[in-house]
Structure 1
Amino acid sequence: MLSGLDPSGGAGIQADIQAITSLGCHPLPVLTCLTVQDTRNVYGASPVDAELIRQQLECVADDSTIHAIKTGALGNAGIVDVVVEFIRKRPDVPVITDPVIKAAGGGDLADDALITAMKERLFPLAEMITPNGEELVILGGDADADRAAQNLMDRGCGSVLATGGHGTGVHIVNRLYNHAPDPMQWEIERIGGEYHGTGCTLAAAIAAGRATGLSARAAIAQAQNYVHRAILHALAVGKGQPVPDRGIQWER
């Protein structure tokens, strides 16, 4: 997986490592950017050199079999180009993309060039993208979720899992748009408040499910159950949002 470093340990690469490990897979982590971040917000970010990332990807892929790819915060458009080149050589490997744009506290993690690069070059190669409500509006260019998701699929996205963790209501509603006549919908009980790193955790858990051979729908269902349990045991790490306990014992 490719993601940024959150020094609070709540989101980013650590969330990916913990979720993927908990679900029985071995993570191959590649850092894309370093952030100044806590459980409240992101205050700054610096991308890793794209050529170094290229070398890491080639080195790891030469040594290990890759069963799924998960992307999170990508740093800049140059890194997107490296990732796209890597993915194109592996058309049979499922790609789960968490299109990280903003932190929950409002801090920016993507500029216009990066957003454009993801939309034009990365999304058409992804099996699934997992935007939250705010990200879906920005990426799909429409305040209506159905139209925004359709806009993304019209531009090449294989499927869009619109996540509802940042919404309101008794239930979290996640909808999968995949060119079927109607989106598939899951509802999970909302545990009060918001949590740091749930989007990263969900996308990484989906990638782990796909890596173990689950269908996309089965991987989503397993990932949602995993995230729900992690939230039930959330940790008060800092002064901001609680962090899901991704080290919980998981029974498949």
Structure 2
Amino acid sequence: MLVLSGLDPSGGAGIQADIQAITSLGCHPLPILTCLTVQDTRNVYSAEAIDPELIRKQLDCIAGDAPIHAVKTGALGSAAVVDVLVEFLGKYPDVPVITDPVIKAAGGGDLADENILASMKERLFPLAEMITPNGLELALLGESDDPDEAAARLIANGCASVLVTGGHGTGIHLTNTLYNHLSTPMSWDIERIGGEYHGTGCTLAAAIAAGRAQGLSARAAISQAQNYVHRTILHALEVGKGQPVPDRGILWER
């Protein structure tokens, strides 16, 4: 499966998180770097996009050689990269696309500017089977602090479904909520493990995409991904001085 994301030198998030999660769940990742970051387990300090023409060549090259069963996107680096990706995805309308709309690092550092956000909302989201914002990203993208209203706006503007992740909330349970064209959203409650972890959003979206690549339904892929992320957090690694990193190298049994 194809995965496009940025490089996190701490190994906690981004393309390494995607590769580890996808591999652990039994898929083969086809990774394309979209941006390079100056980042540790505490924050993102700067980011620089990869040349979009290089990404275009990589996409065409790999697509001519290997089948693509799903696509996962993370930080995309620039609006020009989004444009290249949208053009490519137009050739594969039946391939499920899971988009993690990475905007800010947990420490507050920016990973997307207004041009990237506008391009994602207008061009990428309508091609995605599912987007996976956290609560803060949902409010920004949907232009409302009310989750139901924000998700409804995104769906009205072309999103097929919105999985709002609850990792940045509080309380005993973490709730992930799936909005789509049905009248009632579907929610999953998971035991919350104290604190925040570096790269859980990347891990969840990549794991969902892996499930879809293997033929699971969207709901089954979400359930498997949530169980997987929960286990990675239970075995989280103290890599640096900031947030712990999920141990995505754990053996996964279906």
Range into which the TM-score falls when normalised by the shorter chain: over 0.9
Name the counterpart of 2:101. Answer: 99
Q: 1:161 aligns with which of 121, 139, 163?
A: 163
Name the counterpart of 2:149. Answer: 147
Q: Which amino acid aligns with 1:135?
A: E
Shift of 1:94: 0.1
Query: Within 1, Cα distance between the matches of 2:6 and 2:201?
Result: 13
Name the counterpart of 2:36. Answer: 34
Identity within the alignment, %: 78
Name the counterpart of 2:176. Answer: 174
Give the match's secondary structure for 1:45: strand
Kindly indicate whether residue 164 of structure 2 is the aligned counterpart of residue 197 of structure 1: no
Give the match's secondary structure for 2:5: strand
Q: Which amino acid aligns with 2:21?
A: A
Q: Which amino acid aligns with 2:197?
A: Y
Q: 1:215 aligns with which of 214, 217, 225?
A: 217
CA RMSD in angstroms, aligned pairs only: 0.3
Show CA shifts across 1:192-232 (max 9, x none): 00000000000000000000000000000000000000000
Name the counterpart of 1:185. Answer: 187
| TM-score where L is the length of structure 2 | 0.99
Q: Which amino acid aligns with 1:221?
A: S
Name the counterpart of 1:52. Answer: 54
Q: Which amino acid aligns with 2:93?
A: P
The runs of at least 4 aligned residues of structure 1 exceeding 4 Å deviation read: none
Q: Which amino acid aligns with 2:40?
A: D
Q: Which amino acid aligns with 2:183?
A: P
Q: Which amino acid aligns with 2:47?
A: A
Give the match's secondary structure for 1:204: helix
Shift of 1:22: 0.2
| TM-score where L is the length of structure 1 | 1.00
Give the match's secondary structure for 2:109: coil
Kindly indicate whether residue 143 of structure 2 is the aligned counterpart of residue 124 of structure 1: no
Shift of 1:2: 0.1
Shift of 1:181: 1.0
Shift of 1:57: 0.5
Show CA shifts across 1:75-106 (max 9, x none): 01000000000111000000000000000000
Q: 1:84 aligns with which of 83, 86, 91?
A: 86
Q: Which amino acid aligns with 1:26?
A: H
Structure 1, gaps ≥5 residues long: none
Q: 1:62 aligns with which of 61, 64, 80?
A: 64
Q: Which amino acid aligns with 2:91?
A: K
Q: How many residues align?
A: 252
Structure 2, gaps ≥5 residues long: none
Shift of 1:159: 0.1
Kindly indicate whether residue 229 of structure 2 is the aligned counterpart of residue 227 of structure 1: yes
